Structure 1
């Protein structure tokens, strides 16, 4: 499906119903908006695994501008702020009042930016393998996994720097990290959790996993997601 949001047409897909029967009444379930990484990947990275989340929530898969089946628009609009605003405007266009944003890798940067820029529009936040480690941590992690001849860890986009604003994050946040992630390192995930001081935060580090908790350990990851999404107020 496609919907116009500002100057672009964005592609999205849906798993699960927002309203489900409960006896003689209809009950509204939470709505999850999935944000892929890359930048430049698309929503298909979440399929078919995230069908599991449709058991307890409505799941929306979004191709961000410049990615997948959405309009490219142009490199000048490929910024964390524009991608984040697109997510909020997308939700407004579809009438999604209290979205739960789930971002993996750089999609977590988009989700976090949206929650910081629009604190009244994001009900909960899930960040999977998001925060890049320091210049010292990344090479050490690559060497631990691949030996001394492993290539240097790639540099992450330096312009993403939310650290000074994290104390203003307002929504409950679930941070998922892989113990053996050579890019979004475990120490960086712990620093992220410690920097969020104004909202409830949970951190789970999964052993024996690389990058992308939902891909590497789906059983445990979806159990944690279900608990977080369905618990009132988290």
Structure 2
């Protein structure tokens, strides 16, 4: 489905109903707005893990402007601020009141901007393997945390150096998908990556725009203490992309946040430890709704 939001047609898909049928009538479920990472990916890779929440929440997936099935708009309009405004207007136009906004990876960048720019619209915030900046955040005890260098192959390290320095082409992204993505998950979970990534699309111009224009200036560390909405911060212990140090910093800095670390996950806890992910989100939703 498409919704005209600001100057773009935004794709969204609703994975579950807004109400549960219970004895005596219909009971409204909380709504989760799910924002994918990348940028340059789409929401597809989120579906296996987040669709499992359908019994306890209405889950709405959005392809952010310029990504996935959404309209290709001028890249200079594809800012984190504009994407956050798109999501806020999307909720307003569809009458979605106080949703829980879920942001994974770079989707967390958008979710945090929405919490800063439209605080009254959110009922809750779930940051999953995100970060308030792309700059390194050191642990207070000096522990470097998980690193690609500690476990990556020579091929993975070589392609990481090329991609993260801004060399994003069809060739490098093919090598990225083959050689590097297996190291995005915990060592015991490498086999799930092919399944996850087969569900999503890649957009090279958007990736170039994100890596070369958007990400270098992204830093919300000084503003986190103004976020008052209840927040759940989730992180995989093996995540070197958005590491535990970033999650711990966010949980310490936001006014009403709690941290849950997944011991057997990397960058995709919802796919790597789905049962723990479900129970963690369910507990957070119960807190928000008073157990309804």
C-alpha distance in 2, partners of 1:138/1:218? Answer: 27
Partner of 1:146: 152
The equivalent position to 1:195 in structure 2, one of 247, 253, 260, is: 253
What is the aligned partner in structure 2 of residue 213 from structure 1? 269
**1:9 equivalent in structure 2:** 9
Larger RCO (alpha carbons 8 Å, 6+ apart): 2
Distance 1:140 1:209, change over 3 A: closer
User: What are the ranges of 5 or more consecutive residues in structure 2 without an aligned counterpart?
Assistant: 166-210
Would the alpha carbon gap of residues 22 and 204 (structure 1) be closer, same or farther in structure 2, given more than 3 Å must change?
same
2:125 equivalent in structure 1: 125
Question: Aligned to 1:225, which of 273, 281, 287?
Answer: 281
The alignment status of 1:80 with 2:136, answered yes or no, reads: no
Whole-Å separation in 2 of the counterparts to 1:231 and 1:139: 31
Q: How many residues align?
A: 232
Unaligned residue ranges in structure 1 (runs of 5+):
none
Q: What corresponds to 2:48 in structure 1?
A: 48
Q: Secondary structure at the match of 2:101?
A: strand
Please report the TM-score for the alignment, with normalisation by the length of structure 2: 0.74
Show the counterpart of 2:114: 114
Q: Which residue of 2 aligns with 1:105?
A: 105
Equivalent residues of 2:146, 2:238 under 8 A apart: no
Say if 2:145 and 2:245, in contact at 8 Å, map to a contact too.
no
Aligned equivalents of 1:161 and 1:125: distance in 2?
18
Report the Cα distance in structure 2 between the residues aligned to 1:232 and 1:24, rounded to whole angstroms: 23
Aligned in 2, Cα 1:14/1:195: closer, same or farther, shift over 3 Å? Answer: same
Work out whether residues 42 and 64 of structure 1, in 8 Å CA contact, stay in contact via their aligned partners in 2.
yes
State TM-score, norm by structure 1.
0.91
Higher Cα radius of gyration: 2
* Aligned-residue offset at 1:50: 1.8
